[in-house]
């Protein structure tokens, strides 16, 4: 079972090590982890995709919540959300097959972002299924390199995963 | 906090320069590990955070075992380590070690202070985090140049910790459910651990037990949280728990777990643990709930607050005579026992109990002697038993006793140790001697890594691979070399007078007691076994 966790963390040194270390230390499987700062520069958001049964996910969430740098954690898997990954694919592209590749790029609403004599770089965004699909479609041409981000996600609608804090020193 | 424990070195020289003229007492231990254990013992005995200091590199890494030990038992200590100057960090400089990286998995929080302006607030935060919520060790790594700079003292009265919540209120609905479960149960059992001592909930535990007529078992961390001579007390559960306590776990229909984490030494085979019971689990750390056993009624809260809320929902008294009688029968049929011949360690501890009126603060090392101390020195009060329960660190006992003796002057502090464990921090005889710290060491000397030998006897065909301590020194002579008086005991008759001498002599004292070498700890649940399948004694099994 894959779950998507949206985690707000304080932008302090070592926070990524702490989170990543927790996974390896307690034997949890991390599928992907994407991190970047939020609208508030002192706070970052991590989107973590974890694989495990219900009990493991519960433990992961509780252990993460325990970290002092973790401000808020929500499991958004079952909430309507937009989930996106970004991929850059460097694919072999002899002039003879370029047309065919362009068609695939069109179908997936991807973009060509670099052209060399025998290869192209294709950029695509989408959910994991779509990224897998475009990768598979391009494989017959010969993929030279794939660079793929982890998933980032945002709730649909006006709702946010806010930063209302409840920790020590807040509202005292 | 009035005392710190540590050893100076290059990167903490500026700090020590000021410490020498500060109003804080500093105890120079002879190994940084001992400084960490002393801070730990100080914290366990006093309830206040203990502080240890070490220099960068090897000094800092020497603290690691002590920090990990405090982490496993949720003890608040502050470790202050020197670090190479900010500009030198990351260059493999002389005596540089990435101590924040190394201690990441064994600290509740740690900090590398790179700006003098952050120093005061970091120290403030460190103490707050270490001592509140589920306590634990916190490390502050301070580069040398930070300690030579000057800055305006910036100490915000309010900490900014949006991701840290130290107080959690018990959930009213869950408290009500727990109360209903207690009223409905016919064979309830209170299972108490270190969390009861941390939160000071021992009075509430006692009230709940007495009013609702609920028998009590403990983990080793819970020792002292409930008076052990109380008629409702059954003993420790788990591998070397009492038979009655283990039977009670197997029969109970409701476990009220307070500040316990269901360690594998307690539960035995997890699938067979408390098969008939519903579980109420009270813990301040939400991550403990459901980690090992599924809780039917979880209450995430401070133990004392939770129990107060629970007591408010349970007016009136309850009587459960059938359950009490069942337990009494188990107790009568399976008392703790040992043979009355030779020089038995159990006898030594029983006599120590009598001579100290059960009022000593006991620290232990790790091994058979630790289990005998639990079994034969019943306690009446919390914060009087210091033992490395989670990590099982040999070498803990003597330095922890030092810390306790300093935190609680005027009390009798006894370190019950083994010949193996004692040698892991034997150099602390110098610290005891230097400061005349009145720790009485009772060395239960079997010439073996006894617990290892016991396992080899039972599970490894009596092949005693490297568990005999053939090179042991004359411990009394070693003590004397440090100007610590000592005495060797070789017969049963000498035990009482020797203990008397140790207790009556001012300052530290060492008793080297040559106990029966192959005495075993019983009962014993084989590792991974079911709690009601115990080996209960006698060499014949
Ligand atoms: C630092 C450390 N190393 C090894 C062990 C494994 N160990 C557990 S008990 C024990 C024997 C302890 O011997 P001693 O202190 O003489 O106590 P006894 O069991 O003989 O009473 C050993 C080696 C440990 N717990 N800690
Ligand atoms: Mg021994």
pLDDT tens profile B427-485: 999 999 999 999 999 999 999 999 999 999 999 999 999 999 999 999 999 999 999 99
Indicate the fold that domain A2-79 takes in CATH. Answer: Alpha-Beta Plaits (3.30.70)
Across the interface, whether the CB atoms of B163 and A9 are under 8 A apart is answered yes
Tokens of B516: 């029966």
Minimum mean pLDDT among A11-20, B73-82, B125-134, B366-375: which range? A11-20
- Nearest residue (by CA) to ligand 1, atom 5, is B394
Cross-chain CB nearest to A168 (options B101, B161, B289):
B161
Q: With 60 as the cut, is the pLDDT of residue A157 above it?
A: yes
Across the interface, whether the CB atoms of B163 and A68 are under 8 A apart is answered yes
Bridge partners (DSSP) of residue A29 are A51
In this structure, the strands spanning A29-37 and A43-51 are antiparallel
Task: Give the single-character DSSP code of B171.
Answer: P
Tokens of B364: 């232990």
Q: How many Cβ atoms sit within 10 Å of the Cβ of residue B50?
A: 34
Tell me the three state secondary structure of residue B63.
helix
Cross-chain CB nearest to A68 (options B158, B161, B285):
B161
- Predicted confidence at residue B536, as pLDDT, reads 82
B212 has catalytic annotation? no
Distance B387 CA to ligand 1 centre (A): 13
Q: With 50 as the cut, is the pLDDT of residue B541 above it?
A: no
Across the interface, whether the CB atoms of A18 and B104 are under 8 A apart is answered yes
Across the interface, whether the CB atoms of A168 and B166 are under 8 A apart is answered yes
- Nearest residue (by CA) to ligand 1, atom 1, is B394
Which chain B residues contact residue A26 at CB under 8 A? none
Would you call B202 an interface residue with chain A, using a CB distance cutoff of 8 Å?
A: no
Q: What ipTM does the predicted assembly reach?
A: 0.88
* 3-state helix vs strand vs coil in chain B, percent to 5: 40, 15, 40
Angle at CA of residue B140, ends B138 and B142, nearest 5°? 170
Q: What is the mean pLDDT of residues B309-321?
A: 96
Residues whose CB is less than 8 angstroms from the CB of residue B497 and which lie 6 or more positions away in sequence, other chains included = none
Nearest to B23 by CA among B1, B8, B53: B1
Residues whose CB is less than 8 angstroms from the CB of residue B41 and which lie 6 or more positions away in sequence, other chains included = B50, B363, B386, B399, B400, B401, B402, B403, B404, B407
Cross-chain CB nearest to A58 (options B129, B166, B290):
B290
Tokens of B450: 């006894």
Residues whose CB is less than 8 angstroms from the CB of residue B481 and which lie 6 or more positions away in sequence, other chains included = none
Distance CA A64, CA A58 (A): 10
Q: What is the mean pLDDT of residues B96-116?
A: 97
Would you call B270 an interface residue with chain A, using a CB distance cutoff of 8 Å?
A: no
Distance B239 CA to ligand 1 centre (A): 16
Q: What is the mean pLDDT of residues B234-242?
A: 97
CATH assignment of A82-152? 3.30.70.1150
Per-domain residue ranges of chain A: 2-79, 82-152
Residues whose CB is less than 8 angstroms from the CB of residue B541 and which lie 6 or more positions away in sequence, other chains included = B535
Q: With 50 as the cut, is the pLDDT of residue B539 above it?
A: no
Across the interface, whether the CB atoms of B158 and A172 are under 8 A apart is answered yes
Domains A2-79 and A82-152 share a fold: yes
* 3-state helix vs strand vs coil in chain A, percent to 5: 30, 40, 30
Distance CA B451, CA B441 (A): 19
- Predicted confidence at residue B415, as pLDDT, reads 99
Longest dimension (CA), chain B: 72
Nearest to B382 by CA among B317, B446, B304: B304
B269 has catalytic annotation? no
Among A10, A59, A71, A169, which would you mutate to test the B interface (most chain B Cβ atoms within 10 Å of its Cβ)? A169
Tokens of A139: 């494989």
- Predicted confidence at residue A158, as pLDDT, reads 87
Q: With 50 as the cut, is the pLDDT of residue B62 above it?
A: yes
Whether the CB of B68 sits within 6 Å of ligand 1:
no
Q: How many Cβ atoms sit within 10 Å of the Cβ of residue B72?
A: 20
Chain A interface residues (partner B, CB cutoff 8 A)? 9-10, 13-14, 17-18, 21, 25, 55, 58-59, 62-63, 65-72, 163, 165-170, 172
Distance CA B214, CA B474 (A): 49
Q: With 70 as the cut, is the pLDDT of residue B298 above it?
A: yes
Q: With 60 as the cut, is the pLDDT of residue A172 above it?
A: no
How large is the C-alpha radius of gyration of chain A? 19
The ligand with the least distance to the CA atom of B454 is 1
Whether the CB of B394 sits within 6 Å of ligand 1:
yes
pLDDT one-digit tens code per residue, B351-408:
999 999 999 999 999 999 999 999 999 999 999 999 999 999 999 999 999 999 999 9
Which chain B residues contact residue A59 at CB under 8 A? 287, 290-291
> Per-residue b/e over B282-307, b at no fewer than 16 CB within 10 Å?
bbbbbbbbbbbbebebbbbbbbbbbb
Secondary structure of A68-134 in HEC code, one letter for each residue: CCEEEEEECCCCCEEEEEEEEEEEECCHHHHHHHHHHHHHCCCEEEEECCCEEEEEEEECHHHHHHH
Nearest to B531 by CA among B321, B234, B282, B305: B234
Domains of chain B: 3-148 (3.40.50.970), 172-333 (3.40.50.1220), 345-514 (3.40.50.970)
Residues shown for chain B: 541
Across the interface, whether the CB atoms of B104 and A21 are under 8 A apart is answered yes
- Predicted confidence at residue A165, as pLDDT, reads 59
Element (H, E) at B418: strand B413-418
Would you call B410 an interface residue with chain A, using a CB distance cutoff of 8 Å?
A: no
Task: Give the single-character DSSP code of B526.
Answer: P
Q: What is the mean pLDDT of residues A53-62?
A: 93
Across the interface, whether the CB atoms of A167 and B164 are under 8 A apart is answered yes
Nearest to B5 by CA among B24, B21, B23, B28: B28
Whether the CB of B420 sits within 6 Å of ligand 1:
yes
- Nearest residue (by CA) to ligand 1, atom 23, is B449
- Nearest residue (by CA) to ligand 1, atom 13, is B449
Residues whose CB is less than 8 angstroms from the CB of residue B515 and which lie 6 or more positions away in sequence, other chains included = B343, B344, B345, B348, B444, B445, B446
Q: What is the mean pLDDT of residues A27-38?
A: 93
- Predicted confidence at residue A166, as pLDDT, reads 66
């Amino acid at each position: 079972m894959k779950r998507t966790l949206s985690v707000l963390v304080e932008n302090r040194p070592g926070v990524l090590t702490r989170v990543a270390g927790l996974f390896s230390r307690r034997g949890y499987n991390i599928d992907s982890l994407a991190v970047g700062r939020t609208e508030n520069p002192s706070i970052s958001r991590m989107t973590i995709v974890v694989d495990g049964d219900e009990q493991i996910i519960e433990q992961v969430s509780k252990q993460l919540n325990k970290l002092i740098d973790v401000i808020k954690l929500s499991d958004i898997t079952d909430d309507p959300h937009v989930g996106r990954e970004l991929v850059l694919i460097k694919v072999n592209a002899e002039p003879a097959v370029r047309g065919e590749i362009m068609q695939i790029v069109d179908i997936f609403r991807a973009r060509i972002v670099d052209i060399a004599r025998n290869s192209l770089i294709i950029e695509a965004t989408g959910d994991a299924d779509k990224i897998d699909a475009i990768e598979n479609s391009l494989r017959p041409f010969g993929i030279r390199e794939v660079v793929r981000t982890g998933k980032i996600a945002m709730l649909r609608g006006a709702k946010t995963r806010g930063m209302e804090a409840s920790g020590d020193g807040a509202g005292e | 906090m009035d005392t710190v424990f540590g050893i100076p070195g290059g990167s903490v020289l500026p700090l020590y320069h000021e410490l020498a003229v500060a109003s804080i007492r500093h105890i120079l231990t002879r190994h940084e590990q001992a400084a960490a254990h002393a801070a730990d013992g100080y914290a366990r005995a006093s309830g206040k955070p203990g502080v240890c200091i070490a220099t960068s590199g090897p000094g800092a890494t020497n603290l690691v075992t002590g920090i990990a030990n405090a982490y496993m038992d949720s003890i608040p200590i502050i470790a202050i380590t020197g670090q190479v100057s900010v500009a030198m960090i990351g260059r493999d400089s002389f005596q540089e070690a990435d101590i924040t990286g190394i201690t990441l998995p064994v600290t509740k929080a740690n900090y590398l202070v790179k700006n003098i302006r952050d120093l005061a607030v970091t120290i403030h935060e460190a103490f707050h985090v270490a001592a509140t919520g589920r306590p634990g060790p916190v490390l502050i790594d301070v580069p040398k140049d930070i300690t030579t700079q000057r800055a305006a003292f910036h100490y915000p009265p309010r900490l900014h910790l949006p991701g840290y919540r130290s107080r959690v209120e018990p959930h009213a609905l869950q408290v009500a459910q727990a109360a209903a479960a207690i009223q409905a149960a016919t064979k309830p059992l209170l299972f108490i651990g270190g969390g009861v001592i941390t939160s000071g909930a021992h009075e509430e535990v006692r009230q709940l037990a007495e009013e609702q007529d609920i028998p009590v078992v403990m983990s080793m961390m819970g020792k002292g949280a409930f008076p052990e001579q109380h008629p409702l007390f059954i003993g420790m559960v788990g591998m070397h728990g009492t038979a009655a306590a283990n039977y009670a776990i197997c029969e109970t229909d409701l476990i009220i777990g307070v500040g316990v984490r269901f360690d594998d030494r307690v539960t035995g085979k997890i699938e067979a643990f408390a098969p008939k019971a519903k579980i109420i689990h009270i813990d301040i750390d939400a991550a403990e709930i459901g980690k090992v056993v599924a809780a039917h009624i979880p209450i995430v809260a401070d133990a004392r607050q939770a129990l107060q809320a629970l007591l408010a929902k349970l007016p009136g008294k309850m009587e459960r005579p059938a359950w009490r009688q069942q337990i009494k029968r188990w107790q009568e049929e399976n008392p703790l026992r040992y043979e009355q011949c030779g020089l038995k360690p159990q006898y030594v501890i029983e006599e120590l109990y009598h001579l100290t009126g059960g009022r000593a603060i006991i620290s232990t090392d790790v091994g058979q002697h630790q289990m005998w101390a639990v079994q034969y020195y019943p306690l009446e009060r919390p914060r009087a038993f210091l033992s490395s329960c989670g990590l099982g660190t040999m070498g803990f006992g003597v330095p922890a006793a030092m810390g306790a003796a300093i935190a609680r002057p005027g009390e009798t502090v006894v370190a019950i140790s083994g010949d193996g464990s004692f040698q892991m921090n034997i150099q602390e005889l110098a610290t005891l001697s230097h400061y005349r710290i009145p720790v009485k060491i009772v060395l239960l000397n079997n010439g073996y890594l006894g617990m290892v030998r016991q396992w080899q006897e039972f599970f490894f065909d009596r092949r005693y691979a490297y568990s005999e301590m053939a090179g042991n020194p004359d411990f009394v002579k070693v003590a004397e070399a440090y100007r610590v008086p000592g005495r060797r005991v070789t017969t049963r008759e000498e035990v009482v007078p020797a203990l008397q001498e140790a207790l009556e002599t001012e300052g530290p004292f060492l008793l080297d007691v040559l106990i029966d070498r192959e005495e075993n700890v019983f009962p014993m649940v084989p590792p991974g076994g079911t709690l009601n399948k115990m080996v209960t004694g006698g060499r014949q099994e």
